[in-house]
A and B are shown apart, each in its own frame.
Chain A
Amino acid sequence: MSSTIIQVENVSMMFNKSKEHIDNLKEYFIKLVKHQLYFEEFWALKNISFNVDKGEAIGIIGLNGSGKSTLLKIIAQVMKPTIGKVNVYGSIAPLIELGAGFDMNLSARENIFLNGTVLGYSRKQMKSYFENILDFSELWDFVDVPIKNFSSGMIARLGFAIATVSMPDILIVDEILSVGDYKFQEKCNKRMQQIIENGATIILVSHSIEQIRELCKRAIWLEKGCMVMDGLADVVCDKYMNS
């Protein structure tokens, strides 16, 4: 049984690369009068198309600046592509940056509800997940401490626990498993495996080829915004390492 869960169709993304970013009216008018309002195109992604089936685990590899994160943002619907279309059929748990929605002044308890609702869960759902999150992140002792006093590892733990507490249909992971100590990493890997076994789709961006080989069956190799290769993870990884 394989049905498409993510469709990426001819996606291209353009940014303005002009030297100085004009962000105020005063400069805008000066430049307008002097006819210096130019626009330099920069295509971060060019004509990317692929489909992801339900239950697949896909790794995206490429050098820095090859457009990996842009692609993830487009799939997570944070950005709209300049050209092309992305269809997603299912709930997405973005792990693009752990704890992006945290407010440093609030306690762990309050942040669980804030971040949970940011991810689209209702308050009621979060109440039922609450204990699970604290168990997983092992933060019971700090539940009412403002998280600005947390270590970065603790914040990462909390963020990961919240994002993965419900079994999402699609999990988007961007280089986050490099945070935390080895024990926590192990725990994360275990939970990821669990989510995969549950039939979730995973999109993983990593510079660690090992991790891609371990978790993914299929890999996509991006270079300068173009898709170089799309195929079995081992094959693509070998080619990538040899280039």
Chain B
Amino acid sequence: MKKISVMFSGFFKYKDLLMELVSRDIKIRYRRSVLGLFWTLLNPILMMTVMTLVFSGLFRFDIENFPIYFFTGHILFTFLTESTTNGMHSIVESSNLINKVYIPKYLFPLSKVLSSGVNLIFSFVAMIFVMIATGVKFYSTMLLTPLIIFYLLLLAAGLSLILASCQVFFRDTAQLYSVFTLLWMYLTPIFYPVSLLGDKLKIALTLNPMVHYITYFRNIVLDNKVPSLQQNITCLVMGLMFFCFGLCVFYRKQDKFILHI
């Protein structure tokens, strides 16, 4: 109990640092680029255009509102890979700071997840533009979006903490993870219909957390459907599991980081 209260008071003391780290990431990202923030809006739109051309022209999956169908999956998955990859490198990158000053180390992966979260919000705005442009109807269920973002943040934070710990000890974690995310992406129905995974890969459907998150998101954006209690519990529990496991791994290993960076 005491440990937890120490953790919280530490978090409270350093919450401003967390904000500074997040704003640093965002500033550096958009400084000195001509289009600035506009890139975050433009990038997913360009991606979507390519994907729509390729998949509605070549493969002909029978999906209604394909641009938005793709968009919903794409922005969530991009957020996940971006935040976890940045989070994974965050500890090693900040080695010169960690070597000199005492700071709660979990702030580094956490700040990366939050700054990717800001990017996710920009992508979300881009999606709204595309929805207007393609004449997709807006439903009030879309107001549930913060909930799914919260579940996803838990998952991303947990995974980042695990990966960051691994990366400190084994620098080839990054290589392995990039291959793994590629596999993960193909096992997630981002640009193909969920039914394609069918019976053969049913395990992938139930165990892949992203399937649940993306389905949830599509329900509220495209289907005007309030996700069931079971869906909410599944997403929340999956997020919490990763988050708690990540914290445990991180806390057990963090005192040794300094010897390896």
- Establish whether residues A113 and B102, one from each chain, have CB atoms under 8 Å apart when the complex forms: no
What string of 1s and 0s marks CB contacts (under 8 Å) between B165-182 and chain A? 000011111001000000
A166 in the interface (beta carbon within 8 A): no
A105 and B97 form a contact (CB under 8 A): no
Query: Which of B99, B101, B171, B255 lies in contact with A118, CB distance below 8 A?
Result: B101
Q: Does B125 contact A (CB under 8 A)?
A: no
| B209-261 with Cβ < 8 A to chain A | 255, 258-260
Say how far B52's CB is from chain A's closest CB, in angstroms.
Answer: 36
Does B202 touch A at the CB level, under 8 Å?
no
In the complex, B2 has a CB within 8 A of chain A: no
> With an 8 A cutoff between CB atoms, is B150 at the interface?
no
Query: Is A132 in the interface zone, CB < 8 Å from B?
Result: no
B148 within 8 A of A: no
A70 to B: closest C-beta gap in Å: 11
A96 within 8 A of B: yes
Least Cβ distance of A12 to chain B in Å?
Answer: 14
Chain B residues near A101 (CB, 8 Å)? 97, 100-101
CB < 8 Å neighbour of B97 from A16, A73, A106, A118: A118
Contacts of B200 in A (CB 8 A): none
Known: A114-B24, A122-B13. 19 other contacts (CB 8 A): A23-B260, A24-B171, A76-B101, A78-B98, A78-B100, A78-B102, A78-B258, A80-B255, A96-B101, A101-B100, A101-B101, A106-B28, A110-B27, A117-B19, A120-B13, A120-B14, A121-B16, A123-B19, A123-B20
Instruction: List chain A positions with a Cβ less than 8 A from chain B.
Output: 15-16, 21, 23-26, 28, 73, 76-80, 92, 94, 96-97, 100-101, 103, 105-106, 110, 113-114, 117-123
Residue pairs across A and B with Cβ atoms less than 8 A apart, 19 shown, are: A23-B260, A24-B170, A25-B170, A25-B176, A77-B102, A78-B98, A78-B100, A78-B101, A79-B258, A100-B97, A101-B101, A103-B24, A105-B28, A106-B27, A106-B28, A117-B17, A117-B19, A119-B101, A122-B13
